[in-house]
């Protein structure tokens, strides 16, 4: 896996451009990866709903839960499906709208300096081995493009928005990801 620094795209990922993105602030250095968990409707996997959310085309009438999030304008740089398939919505050099109100190491607005990666999953269910492998490969590719990204700078959404967010959840195996990033798995 490799990031094309010119386009900001991950080779091997399907690219579906989201309108929910903008320029990073002048001088913003990418040095953090925020891992999220998402399923739509909650607890259901597959289907078109995550993509439609990130494209701003989620039909509120398709499911009662969708009515509660109809006003959201969100995206992520990358989605890793349960199968390990990769879908990119925002070029890495641009700002995706994934972390919301957030803070890391005294800095506010994590979207300004982070890359958001969504894992298709739920807080209370284990993630798939294929997802951990794909995540580790993606982080390695990002670290090759932006050396400030280190394994210690891969955090959960709950770490940058404590009390507001819980994902990727208690079933996310940080130790397993760490072993993969260290090449021990």
Catalytic residues: 118
Burial of 183 (0-12, 13-18, 19+ CB in 10 A): exposed
> What is the rounded distance in angstroms from the CA atom of residue 39 to the CA atom of residue 144?
29
A 10 A CB-CB count for 24 gives: 18
Q: Which of 106, 110, 107, 108 has the alpha carbon at shortest distance from 35?
A: 110
């Amino acid at each position: 896996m490799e990031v094309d620094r010119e386009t900001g795209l991950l080779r091997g990922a399907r690219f579906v451009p989201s309108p929910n993105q903008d320029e990073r602030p002048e001088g913003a250095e990418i040095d953090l990866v925020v891992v999220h968990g998402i399923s739509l409707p909650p607890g259901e996997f597959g289907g078109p709903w995550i993509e439609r959310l990130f494209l701003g085309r989620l039909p509120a009438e398709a499911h009662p839960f969708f009515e509660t999030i109809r006003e959201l304008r969100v995206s992520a740089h990358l989605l890793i499906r349960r199968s390990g398939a990769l879908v990119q919505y925002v070029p890495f050099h641009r700002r995706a709208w994934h972390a919301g109100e957030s803070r890391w190491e005294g800095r506010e607005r994590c979207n300004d300096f982070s890359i958001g990666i969504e894992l298709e999953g739920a807080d209370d269910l284990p993630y798939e081995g294929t997802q951990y492998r794909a995540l580790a490969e993606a982080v390695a590719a990002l670290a090759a493009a932006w050396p400030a990204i280190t394994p210690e700078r891969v955090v959960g959404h709950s770490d940058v928005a404590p009390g507001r967010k819980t994902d990727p959840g208690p079933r996310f195996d940080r130790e397993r990801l760490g072993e993969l990033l260290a090449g021990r798995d």
